[in-house]
Structure 1
Amino acid sequence: MAQFALRRSHIIAAASLTALLASCAHSPQPPAPSQPPVTSPSPETGPISYESSGHADIDAWRKDFSARALAAGHDRAVVKSVLTGISPLELWLGSTFQPAQTGIEDQAEFAKPIWDYLRVPMSNSRISTGQARLAENPALFDALEAAYNVDREAIVAIWGMETSFGAIKGNYDGPNVLANMAVEGRRKGLAESELLSLMKILEKGDAQRDDLKAGWAGAMGHTQFMPSTYIAFAQDFDGDGLKDIWNSEADALASAANYLSSSGYALHQPWGIEVLAPTGFDYSLADGNERRMESWMQAGLVPAAGGAFNTNGANYAELWLPAGAEGPKYLLFNNFKVFKTYNNADSYAFAVGLSGDAMGGRMGPVAAWPTHLHPLTVSEIKTLQAALNAKGFDAGVVDGIPGRKTKGALQAFQKSQGLVADGYPTREALAMVTGSGSVGVAVSPGTN
């Protein structure tokens, strides 16, 4: 009985405790202490502040351009990253700056005789290195040809011409170069447009800010793309999510191939064929106009290498005399014009074509260069242009560039004087035009 009473008291105690706990569970609890609300920092607005470059013109330009970039809708952080750290470059804004340092006189395409210009692109070192690069990765070049329908020799020749196969890509900060160009003023519109393109590249995530290394004029990477060209044609050929023309050879070469393909390159068609002309040939036909291959054959032109013409379907060509009637002569096809979309100088496109052929085992030219002639300097070209214009032969703008219009005007003058109308601007030709001499060629040279 006593044991039963003890057990009963334990049961009653347990029940009371349970009821007490249940009562506590339903009792109102004191509120938890309130936490302060979490607030995010307000986004920056208004003009971006930059540390001074120490150059008043740069600072003023940057303040204005930064505001215009923001107003155009560019990402604030990107604008700031592109324009932070801008500083004057001696090349563009230094105390010893001379316009000629970045002018026609300093561009080898215009300042050197063609045979001197070709010494580097046709050197044993350039050709053997190009051949080695082709042999190192045939699978890559197979894939590039299949994807873009551009001959591998053309791709590697462009690579060699632009950066010597990546050895000389330029180590300037791209935004800084373009900013200096804008402040210097002669190409302000171009420079500012390219800076906006750089911002788009970063906004799309195609490259990182630190990647944007460039040459002295803002061209970037293995194959020297301007930012706007990058946006239009750059490729991610290695599939890593970046269009890395600075560090990925696959991306850079695919980008160049895409550019050439988009410009109209035709796979396996020639860029040019060296020809021989018969005695008495009318060199005024080298007038920049394309004619059917049948017409050139009827005029007596034959391949300098012998045999028949093989153009793989290219039916139209123009006759070009890179060193006048006494030097090598070429029929030029559409692929030559495609090379000129990369650099509009005839000598550049010629070097691409010749060096690409040599890397593929086809050396040229066959004919010798007439190194006894005296091609004109840039300043002498300007004198020639002015003199031709004064005599009524339209040479166009007096700019020192011996382009097709200048050569056409000289041809017209030569023809009016009964001379060989090859349009090649030599000191002898200049003397004839200005009346300071009587040197001339009255009869056409024989076949060569």
Structure 2
Amino acid sequence: MTAAAGAQEMSFEDWADGFRQRLAEHGAQPSTIAIMMDGLEPDSRIIDRDRSQPEFVRPVWVYLNGAASDARTQNGLSAQARHREALDTVEAQFGVDADILTAIWGLESAYGVIMGDFDIVRSLATLAWEGRRRQFAENQLLAVADMLERGYAERDQLLGSWAGAMGQTQFIPTTYLERAVDMHGDGHRDIWTTEADALGSAANLLARAGWETDAPVVTEVTLPETFDFAGWEERDRRAVSAWAMDGVRPAQGEWSPDDLYRPARIVLPSGAQGPAFMAFSNFDALMRYNNSTAYALGVGYLAKRLAGLDALPDGWPEDNPPINRSQSRQLQQTLTDLGHDTRGVDGIFGANSRRALKSFQAANGMTPDGYAGQLTYEAVMARSR
């Protein structure tokens, strides 16, 4: 698909002329507008990537094994050795564990090696012109103008991912303005080439998201046979002591006295047949960085491995992988047709869809865990015939 085929009726030149005016109204100087917009052309690759969501969903166990692999762990330990002083300084200032920061660094840019080479002004301008994410993309471009005028970056530094994330910690421009920090006091928030600034910025984001110093992120747990799956919701938070009273135990060892008073929620990323996890408030802070359960697990377990943990969780239901997006749409429609309303058919299996699936499972003698795996998909399809 070409850029022209994917865009709305407006030409790129018409969008650019209009956005030049918006930049001026925002307060951008003519010189800033010129270095951002002069000679700018759309990039058809951006529209292709934005429009083509992957059909297949990677199982969480595959993601986790890659996120916390031996190679990534060893590379992380080497990166820590090279930048120990910066990590210690950032940890002392923001209270975020150095292993967590290293894990984010590893997942976001392979410890500064892979930051993306797309011109983010061109990428964001293409997204704005195309229209599906216009407000997001234009807001990011206004933030870019602010970055340039405040001297935080030079125009040729603005390279990153196809969707506009930049630097070793992959910040979008608005997040950069809100959370990036200058650890050296040199007037620059250099998340591209200054590791201390990149790591400090990540730590500041987590601190502002409610990071709790010296508190856990995630712990694997065992659930009792009497666990109330029907009453469980993934967002429900209770004190660990309350979960413990219901028979929830750490997979290894015992609860620490401090942890018993912490609020936490139970996460079942592959349903009742896979590992269960207790997710603490720091897990949710990580999801403010990237709103993905798999990502937060990946950061949490890579950090554990950096701290010396050898084994990753096992017992995953590899015979029951997550369904793909086409199957998710089919499942949503079929559940709704059967009287279990998913409140939309979009192929994204969110809280409403999981709630509908739990209702179906409970009504049909299945464990109501809300996990959209292959076996449950086949059971729903069979019921509809």
**TM-score, structure 2 as length reference:** 0.92
Q: Determine the C-alpha separation between the residues in 2 that align with 1:227 and 1:187.
A: 15
Q: Determine the C-alpha separation between the residues in 2 that align with 1:388 and 1:222.
A: 43
SS in 1 for 2:369: coil
Q: Determine the C-alpha separation between the residues in 2 that align with 1:198 and 1:98.
A: 22
> Which residue of 204, 208, 229 corresponds with 1:262?
208
> Which residue of 266, 283, 290 corresponds with 1:319?
266
Aligned to 2:38: 84
Does the 8 A contact of 2:331 with 2:380 survive in 1? yes
Q: Determine the C-alpha separation between the residues in 2 that align with 1:366 and 1:122.
A: 11
The correspondence of residues 42-81 of structure 1 with structure 2, limited to 5 A, is 57-81=11-35
- Please tell me the residue identity of whatever aligns with 1:167: V
Aligned to 2:338: 391
Q: Determine the C-alpha separation between the residues in 2 that align with 1:271 and 1:364.
A: 17
Aligned to 1:407: 354
Deviation of 1:364 (Å): 4.6
Change in 2 beyond 3 A, CA 1:234/1:146: same
The correspondence of residues 219-234 of structure 1 with structure 2, limited to 5 A, is 219-234=165-180
Aligned to 1:46: none
Which structure would you say has the larger RCO, counting Cα contacts within 8 Å and 6 or more residues apart? 2
1:183 aligns with 2:120: no
Deviation of 1:74 (Å): 1.5
Aligned to 2:69: 123
Is 392-401 or 190-199 further displaced after alignment? Answer: 392-401
- Please tell me the residue identity of whatever aligns with 1:242: H
Aligned to 1:426: 373
Does the 8 A contact of 1:118 with 1:351 survive in 2? yes
Q: Percent identity?
A: 35
Change in 2 beyond 3 A, CA 1:338/1:363: farther
Q: Determine the C-alpha separation between the residues in 2 that align with 1:280 and 1:127.
A: 37
Deviation of 1:432 (Å): 2.4
- Please tell me the residue identity of whatever aligns with 1:231: L
User: Which structure has the larger Rg?
Assistant: 1
Aligned to 1:299: 246
Change in 2 beyond 3 A, CA 1:248/1:277: same
Q: Determine the C-alpha separation between the residues in 2 that align with 1:415 and 1:132.
A: 49
Q: Determine the C-alpha separation between the residues in 2 that align with 1:151 and 1:437.
A: 50
Aligned-CA RMSD value: 2.1
Q: Determine the C-alpha separation between the residues in 1 that align with 2:186 and 2:22.
A: 33
Does the 8 A contact of 1:234 with 1:252 survive in 2? yes
Is 384-393 or 186-195 further displaced after alignment? Answer: 384-393
Q: Determine the C-alpha separation between the residues in 2 that align with 1:333 and 1:407.
A: 21
Q: Determine the C-alpha separation between the residues in 1 that align with 2:251 and 2:259.
A: 18
- Please tell me the residue identity of whatever aligns with 2:352: K
1:141 aligns with 2:95: no
Q: Determine the C-alpha separation between the residues in 1 that align with 2:81 and 2:342.
A: 46
Change in 2 beyond 3 A, CA 1:56/1:86: farther
- Please tell me the residue identity of whatever aligns with 1:64: G
Alignment coverage as a number of residue pairs: 376
Does the 8 A contact of 2:60 with 2:270 survive in 1? yes
Does the 8 A contact of 1:166 with 1:222 survive in 2? yes
